[in-house]
Structures are given as C-alpha cells and as structure tokens.
Amino acid sequence: MILVMASTGMFGRPVVEGLAKRGLPVRATGRSEKTLATLDAPGAELIPADMDDPSTLDKLMNGVDKVLVNAPMDDQKEVREKNIIEAMIRSGNGAKIVLLTGGVEHDDALGETGLATERLMRSAGLPWSIVGPQTVMESNFKPFRELIQSDNMLMSCVGKAKVGFVALENVTDAFITVLESSKESHIGCEYVITGPEAVSFEEVATAATEALDRRIIYQDMPRDEFRNLMITEAGFTESYVDIEVMCHLDAFRAGKATRITDDFTRLTGKKSKSVKKWWIENSDFFLSA
Ligand SMILES: NC(=O)c1ccc[n+]([C@@H]2O[C@H](COP(=O)([O-])OP(=O)(O)OC[C@H]3O[C@@H](n4cnc5c(N)ncnc54)[C@H](OP(=O)(O)O)[C@@H]3O)[C@@H](O)[C@H]2O)c1
C-alpha cells in the first residue's frame, strides 16, 4: 500500500490519480473528506487526517510500505513533515520514506526546514529516497494568465537569471516511478527532476509569444517594488508573499535554480518537457475567456 500525503495538492493529486489508474494500491489523505472525494482515483482509499494533529496519523500507516512525505510550503512545513515521519516510526512497519524536497537551492528559512527534515529522515532507521522537483512550470507560469490576457505581459524581479523549470507531468512521472517500484529499489538515491535546459524569463516570454501568437513581454522590476505589488495589487498577505513567493524569486535571482540533471531520463527513460513545448500545450489555458 502506498500512502500519499497532501493528496489533493499540486503534486499529490496527479500522483494519487496516476497510481490508482495503474491499479496500484494507494491511500490518499488530506484534511477534508469533501476535497478527497474530488480525486479521480478509482479504488484509492480516502482517509482524512490532519498533519497538525499527530494522533490522527497513526491510522494512515496500517499495511503501508511506502509513503510520499509531502507538506504544503508554509511556516508549518517542518513540523508537519516531522509528524509524518514520527508516525511512520511509531507504526513499526518499516515503510520507506519517499521525500519530496525542493530542487531550488535555498540558504534561507525554507532551506533550513528542508535540512531539518532530511536529518530526521536519515536518522529514522527507515529506507528512503529523495525526489526534488526543480521549480515547476505550472506554479511559475499559470498565475500570469490574467496579466497575459490584459497586458500581454509576464512580470517578476529575477533579471536575466536562468531557471531549470520542470513540467508537473514530468515530476508526477518521476514520483510514480519511484513509488511503484519495490521498497528495496532506489534506496538512498537522491533525484533532482529538472527541465531540459535553464531559461531566463525573457526566453519564457519568447516561448509564450510563439505559442500564443501574440507578443508577450517580460517586465523586470526592482525586488521590493515587485513584493509590494503582490501585497497591494494581488492582495496576498506579507507572510504568504515572503514564504511562498519571494524566497523562491530571491533564489532564482541569485542563480540557485539553474541546475539541470538527467535524473528524469535515467528514472523514466523519457525526455523532460521544454518550456517551449509546455507553452504550446497550455496555450488554450492562457487564451480562453
Ligand atoms: N511549486 C514548486 O515548484 C515546488 C517545487 C519543489 C518542491 N515544492 C514543495 O512541494 C510541497 C508541496 O507544495 P505546495 O505548497 O504546492 O502544497 P500543496 O501540495 O498544494 O498542499 C496542499 C495539500 O496539503 C493538504 N494539507 C494542508 N494542510 C494539511 C494538514 N494540516 N493536514 C493534512 N493535509 C494538509 C491539502 O489538503 P486539505 O486542505 O484538504 O487538508 C492539500 O492536499 C511544498 O513543500 C513545496 O516546498 C514545490
């Protein structure tokens, strides 16, 4: 039985759905029964539990041999990942940890959180593998839909920095490959899943221009001006902007998201998707009313 934490989130949902469609035994969890019911995962067990309440996690572990350890990116990430790993240890069933980490190098609070979870994982006495997606195209490009429709524009504060954006579809395939293989496979392996090349936001705008058949420009802004815009115009809270947006953009600007690996190809035998192809495949999303 494969247990997937944060099953209705960006990574969890397609992983659960992909495993279920392959006929593999999968248990999906999140806090809300109603949200779990939206999964298109025939045969999957849906069990609500709260990562903030460790006493609810024990029931998830029965008969489980692999767990995708995954928690949302907020100020509770480290505590939630700790709660999952401790529940795995308590269960005594020796299940393998498949840890979702960040492929972007962070020497900030998010990086510290990741290191703390890795230290706990390595000392847990359980088998483990790490899969670290480089930053995902969907979470970087889809938020620009409205701005593209109104102003034909992408906007950020990363200058000419190059980023090894990866398609969510490739990340999903990588997780499924590791989770569907035996518990004894991939032990101690660390995979960083990236796109085929690192590109700048100006190059992203060129890919968007070609795919959408209209000129899309990249507007670079001073960091703090961009941060204020996210708060005053987009209506995000300061803590959301700092933890979930600026820490990534600061890392991009410092050249810490350029890494390209062939781990995806080694794992799946496939080629990872380029930014250019991603924009062509997603053009309807940006053009539809
Ligand atoms: N975006 C990227 O490019 C990228 C790249 C590499 C790594 N990452 C990492 O990927 C991880 C997941 O990303 P994300 O921020 O997009 O999160 P997410 O997967 O969207 O998180 C939401 C999920 O977490 C569940 N959840 C939230 N609080 C919960 C709780 N207390 N107990 C149980 N389930 C809970 C939600 O379900 P309910 O609301 O129903 O409970 C939902 O399934 C993060 O750690 C992030 O650092 C992201």
pLDDT of residue 93: 96
| Ligand 1 lined by 109 (C-beta under 6 Å) | no
In the chain, CATH 3.40.50.720 covers 2-126
The alpha carbon of 44 and the centre of ligand 1 are apart by a number of angstroms equal to 19
Annotate 258-276 with b (16+ C-beta within 10 A) or e (fewer).
Answer: bbbbebbeebbeeebbbbb
| Ligand 1 lined by 51 (C-beta under 6 Å) | yes
The alpha carbon of 5 and the centre of ligand 1 are apart by a number of angstroms equal to 9
Q: What distance in Å separates the CA atoms of residue 111 and residue 102, rounded to the nearest whole number?
A: 8
**Structure-token pair, residue 17:** 């759905």
pLDDT of residue 204: 98
pLDDT of residue 170: 98
pLDDT of residue 220: 97
Amino acid of residue 270: K
Residue ranges of the chain whose pLDDT lies below 70: none
User: Residue 247's Cα: distance from chain center in Å?
Assistant: 15
The alpha carbon of 77 and the centre of ligand 1 are apart by a number of angstroms equal to 9
pLDDT of residue 289: 86
Alpha helices (H) along the chain = 12-21, 33-36, 77-91, 109-123, 137-141, 145-151, 168-180, 201-212, 223-232, 238-240, 247-253, 263-268, 275-281, 283-287
| Ligand 1 lined by 73 (C-beta under 6 Å) | yes
pLDDT of residue 248: 95
Q: What is the pTM of this model?
A: 0.96
pLDDT of residue 67: 98
pLDDT of residue 234: 86
| Ligand 1 lined by 158 (C-beta under 6 Å) | no
| Ligand 1 lined by 14 (C-beta under 6 Å) | no
- The highest-level CATH class for domain 139-162+196-258+270-287 is alpha beta
User: Residue 203's Cα: distance from chain center in Å?
Assistant: 22
Q: What distance in Å separates the CA atoms of residue 62 and residue 210, rounded to the nearest whole number?
A: 51
Select from 50, 56, 100 the least CA-distant residue to 80. 50
In the chain, CATH 3.90.25.10 covers 139-162+196-258+270-287
- The highest-level CATH class for domain 2-126 is alpha beta
pLDDT of residue 130: 98
**CA distance between the termini of the chain:** 42
